[in-house]
Amino acid sequence: MNSGRSTEEFTIEKRGVLLIEDPLLNKGTAFTQEERVKHGLLGLLPPHVDTLEEQEERAYEAFCDFHTDIDKHIFLRQLQDENETLFYRLLLEHITEMMPIVYTPVVGLACQRFSHIYRRPRGIFISYPERDSMDAIFENIEHDVDVIVVTDGERILGLGDQGVGGMGIPIGKLSLYTLCGGVDPAKTLPIVLDLGTNNQERLDDPRYIGWRENRIKGAEYDAFIEQFVTAVKKRFPHVLLQWEDFASVDAERIIDKYRDDLCTFNDDIQGTAAVTTGTILAAITAAGGKLVDQNIVMLGAGSAGVGICLQLKQAMIDNGHSEAEARSHFYVIDRDGLLHSGRTDLDPLHQKLAQSPENLKGWDCDVTGTISFADVVRNSKPGVLVGATGQAGAFTEEIIREMAKHTNRPVIFPLSNPTSRAEAIPSDLLKWTDGKAVIATGSPFDPVEYNGVTHYIAQCNNSYIFPAMGLGILASRARRVTDSMFMAAAFALKETSPALKDPAASLLPSLTTIREVGRKIARAVAAAAIEAGVADSITEEEIDQRIEETMWTPEY
């Protein structure tokens, strides 16, 4: 297994203060006396030599001294910039407590306040005025890179356009690649594409550190993305490139254009679809049902909602349904109501999920005009309800009670994050369904007591999928990312669900086991890549060996 890098490899390049200031090499007070002599550190550190365990205990004590989540986030980011080995050891020891601080929901506030809490450079910023200098920018990255996460900051979580503040997302995502998937942090690179912002609050902020112009769109935007992809392929031809938090209209177009051009995926579309598919499959099974028997209502027709439905639809097709039969089970709702084939405003992607008029016959509403969320739930009698709207409270008591009339164990997933944007809170969902709801959320929620029963709320978080995808891709040396690899990840995640053995348990495994869960998913992803012909042809034993060799652990 790959552990922390040896200082011996860097004695020529880094000594003294330069060594201490490199977060990938710095051991701080854990440098031994011999190392201090050899690497020019005498007198630069206090005399006591700590173990990593002692450093972790000190760091946790400092973490606990902060009283607000944003201050805890700033502390952890500062620690990451000082000593990455200690940072990841601390996170692993306290993963349930700290993952929400490093990533959702606190990372949303960190993005909003990015220009005010900015301390030290991490990753690269490519602004529109510097678009013709991309090759030079990438040449400034001297180390090898296995994984890039990139955003343009236009649709950060449920918070919208944050401009250059969106850099908090690639930084956070890559932290989870290492924490959950064991990807070497020395081989990751966060990138923000700064094409301006339409967020007037950011433009008016004297502390804003991004390019102070309105967003570039249209042909200029597409040309910029083309330049970016070309520069990435030139500098890092074998890298895994993950797109993150782009506006839906751009996200779908970008992944469609470049998915066969390099090893790439969009986590909001494909990762969200995989984790939600796996969790829904576990929920349906735990409730005693079958996917092919479910009517599924999706509130929200953005990239996440559409991606989830398309993957679930494919799972139904793989289970024997025709395309038309599978589509008849999905009721997708956007701001103008149900997607149906009588509407003339649907783009080709949404047409793949449009309901046919035959399936709406007998509904007790006007099916020629706008068909509301309430109309859909009342008439379709769904067993599964998913929210991907960013609209707090969109799942009302009236609608949830209506749903609960027609199914014994309603599966309800309010997935929007951060927490303030959730479509409903679990305690309300349990109250409105008399404790029958099977729930997963996008942001973390505490367990809920209802009628003497403790309900554990699974966080349907992409962190179960994308780090394991990265691990499986790197271990198998996959050249492309296929839909079958995401489907394999979803089914592998389902099989790890504690609820399959105990219906009262959480739908998803504890975060404390996420590295082992990641190994299982990575194996399935690697096998699917091999079967698809986009990776090295190796045996199951060789897959396991490569996974262990690829995984980095936070040790000196």
* Domain containing residue 345: CATH number: 3.40.50.720
Binding site for (S)-malate, by residue number, is 155, 417, 461
Alpha carbon separation from 23 to 14, 19, 53, 87 (Å, rounded): 12, 8, 18, 10
412-449 pLDDT, tens digit per residue, is 999 998 888 999 999 999 999 999 999 999 988 999 99
The pLDDT, as a whole number, for residue 371 is 96
My answer on whether 210 and 290 are in the same domain is no
Let me know whether 453 and 492 are in one domain: no
Mind listing the pLDDT tens digit for each residue in 328-340? 999 999 999 999 9
Pairwise CA distance, residues 168 & 122, whole Å: 10
Is residue 7 very low, low, confident or very high in pLDDT (cuts 50, 70, 90)? Answer: very low
The verdict on 207 and 345 lying in the same domain is no
Which tokens sit at 549?
A: 């060799």
Closest CA to 88 of 23, 20, 7: 23
Q: What CATH number should be reported for the domain holding residue 248?
A: 3.40.50.10380
Task: List binding-site positions for a divalent metal cation.
Answer: 244-245, 268
Residue 143 neighbours by CB distance under 10 Å? 9
Give yes or no: 431 in active site: no
Q: How confident is the model at residue 4 (pLDDT cuts 50, 70, 90)?
A: low
Q: Are residues 379 and 514 in the same domain?
A: no
pLDDT-based confidence at 59, cuts 50/70/90?
A: very high
Active-site pick, 14, 27, 88, 103 = 103
Looking at residue 85, its amino acid is: T
In this predicted structure, what is the pLDDT of residue 13?
A: 73
Give mean pLDDT, residues 527-549: 97
- Residues 122, 174, single domain; the answer is yes
SS3 string of 48-81?
Answer: CCCCHHHHHHHHHHHHHCCCCHHHHHHHHHHHHH
Query: Can you list the positions of beta strands (E) in 376-496?
Result: 384-387, 411-414, 438-441, 448-450, 453-455, 458-459
Structure pTM? 0.93
Average per-residue pLDDT for the chain: 95
For residues 161 and 237, membership in a common domain is answered with: yes
Retrieve residue 244's tokens.
């993150």
Residue 339 is encoded by which pair of tokens? Answer: 């997607």
**Are 274 and 410 within one domain?**
yes
Residues 472 and 506 in one domain: yes
Specify whether 402 is located in the same domain as 440: yes
**552 lies in some domain:** no
Q: What is the pLDDT of residues 455-497, one digit of tens each?
A: 999 999 899 999 999 999 999 999 999 999 999 999 999 999 9
Please write the tens of the pLDDT for every residue from 109-132.
999 999 999 999 999 999 999 999
556 within a domain of the structure (yes/no): no
Tokens 């996008």 identify what position? 442
Q: Predicted confidence band at 368 (pLDDT cuts at 50, 70, 90)?
A: confident
Q: Is residue 21 part of a domain?
A: no
- 214 falls within a domain: yes
pLDDT band at 507, cuts 50/70/90?
A: very high
Res. 1 pLDDT band, cuts 50 70 90: low
pLDDT at residue 12 is higher than 50? no
Q: Are residues 315 and 191 in the same domain?
A: no
Catalytic residue among 72, 173, 313, 494: 173
Q: What DSSP character marks residue 143?
A: S
> Tokens standing for 172?
């956070």
State how many domains the chain has.
3
User: What is the per-residue pLDDT for 53?
Assistant: 98
Among 243, 262, 281, residue at a domain's last position: 262
Asked about 361 being catalytic, the answer comes back as: no
Round to whole Å and give the CA distance between 487 and 314. 9
Taking only the tens place, the pLDDT of each residue in 25-58 is: 999 999 999 999 999 999 999 999 999 999 999 9
With a cut of 70, say whether residue 3 has pLDDT above it.
no
Q: Is residue 20 part of a domain?
A: no
Same domain, 454 and 471: no
Boundary (domain end) residue, out of 214, 237, 262: 262
Is residue 517 in some structural domain?
yes
Rounded to whole angstroms, the Cα distance separating 493 from 162 reads 32
pLDDT tens readout for residues 297-311: 999 999 899 999 999
Going by the annotation, the residues of the binding site are 155, 244-245, 268, 417, 461
- Mean pLDDT value of segment 214-242: 98
Token output for 119: 């301390």
pLDDT band at 11 (very low <50, low <70, confident <90, very high): very low
Residue-range definition of the domain harbouring residue 421: 270-461
Give the tokens for residue 454: 């403790």
Query: Would residue 74 count as lying in a domain?
Result: no
Provide the edge-to-edge strand list for the sheet that holds 264-266: 124-127, 188-194, 147-151, 240-243, 264-266
CB atoms within 10 A of CB 181: 29
Site of tokens 């698809």? 532
Percent helix / strand / coil, the chain, rounded to 5: 50, 10, 40
Number of H helices, E strands in the chain: 24, 14
Residues 94 and 212 in one domain: yes
Q: Quick one: which of 428, 429, 338, 335 has its CA closest to 389?
A: 335
Query: Which residues lie closer than 8 Å to 551 by C-beta, 6 or more apart?
Result: 1, 2, 181, 182, 471, 515, 519
Task: Answer whether residue 236 is part of any domain.
Answer: yes
Tokens 């090295």 — which residue? 536
- Domain end: 213, 237, 262, which one? 262
- Give the percent of the chain with pLDDT over 90: 92
Omega cis (within 30) before 414: no
In single-letter form, the type of residue at position 52 comes to L
